[in-house]
Amino acid sequence: MRPIKGRGSSDNPLNRFEDVYLDYEVDEESGEKPSSDTKFLRDDTADIISTNNSPDIPFNKSINPYRGCEHGCIYCYARPTHEFLGMSPGLDFESKIVVKYDAANLLRATLSKKFWKPEPIVMSGVTDPYQPVERKLEITRGCLEVLAEANQPTGIITKNFLVTRDTDFLQKLAKVNAVRVAISITTFDRELARLMEPRTSSPDRRMQAVKILSDHGIPVRVMVAPVIPGLTDHEMVPILDASAEAGAVEAGYTLLRLPYGVKDLFIQWLEQHYPDRKSKVLNRILDFRNGKLNRSEFGERFRGSGHYAKQIQDLFHHQVYRLGLNKERKELSAKHFRRPSGNQLTLF
Beta carbons within 8 Å of 50's beta carbon, 6+ residues apart = 61, 62, 63, 64, 125
* Of residues 15 and 32, more confidently modeled: 15
Across residues 215-238, what is the average pLDDT? 97
Tell me the H-state helices in the chain.
91-95, 103-112, 134-137, 139-150, 167-174, 190-196, 203-215, 236-246, 262-273, 278-288, 307-323
Residue 316 has pLDDT above 50, yes or no: yes
Residue 23 has pLDDT above 70, yes or no: no
Check if the beta carbon of residue 143 is closer than 8 Å to that of residue 104: yes
Range from 78-92, 214-228, 236-250 carrying the lowest mean pLDDT: 78-92
Q: How far apart are CA 193 and CA 317, in angstroms?
A: 25
Check if the beta carbon of residue 13 is closer than 8 Å to that of residue 41: no
Across residues 136-156, what is the average pLDDT? 98
Residue 167 has pLDDT above 50, yes or no: yes
Q: How far apart are CA 170 and CA 218, in angstroms?
A: 7
Grade residue 345 by pLDDT with cuts at 50, 70 and 90.
Answer: very low
- Residue 329: the pLDDT is 78
- Per DSSP, the three-state class of 49 is strand
Range from 34-38, 132-136, 306-310 carrying the lowest mean pLDDT: 34-38
| Beta-strand relationship, 179-184 and 220-227 | parallel
- Residue 341: the pLDDT is 83
Q: How far apart are CA 159 and CA 184, in angstroms?
A: 5
Range from 34-38, 51-55, 282-286, 322-326 carrying the lowest mean pLDDT: 34-38
- Residue 36: the pLDDT is 66
What's the CA dihedral at 243, 244, 248, 251 to 10 degrees?
A: 80
Fold (CATH) for 39-326:
pyruvate-formate lyase- activating enzyme (3.80.30)
Q: How far apart are CA 22 and CA 11, in angstroms?
A: 9
Check if the beta carbon of residue 48 is closer than 8 Å to that of residue 122: no
Sheet containing strand 179-184, strands side by side: 49-51, 61-63, 121-123, 154-158, 179-184, 220-227, 250-255
Check if the beta carbon of residue 150 is closer than 8 Å to that of residue 344: no
- Per DSSP, the three-state class of 74 is coil
Question: Buried (b) or exposed (e) across 252-291, using 16+ Cβ within 10 A?
Answer: bbbbbbbbbbbbbbbebbbeebbeeebeebbebbebbbee
Grade residue 15 by pLDDT with cuts at 50, 70 and 90.
Answer: confident
* Residue extents of the structural domains in the chain: 39-326
Question: Buried (b) or exposed (e) across 232-244, using 16+ Cβ within 10 A?
Answer: bbebbeebbebbb
Grade residue 343 by pLDDT with cuts at 50, 70 and 90.
Answer: low
Grade residue 29 by pLDDT with cuts at 50, 70 and 90.
Answer: very low
What's the mean pLDDT when you consider all of the chain? 90
- Residue 30: the pLDDT is 38
Residue 225 has pLDDT above 90, yes or no: yes
238-241 contacts, C-beta under 8 A, 24 or more apart: 238/188, 239/185, 239/187, 239/188, 240/316, 240/319, 240/320, 240/323, 240/325, 241/319, 241/323
Nearest CA among 64, 62, 69, 116 for reference residue 92: 69
pLDDT tens profile 274-303? 999 999 999 999 998 888 888 777 667 677
Q: How far apart are CA 336 and CA 153, in angstroms?
A: 9
Write the DSSP symbol of residue 248.
-
pTM of the complete model: 0.90
Rounded to 10°, the helix 203-215/236-246 angle is: 30
- Per DSSP, the three-state class of 240 is helix
- Residue 9: the pLDDT is 87
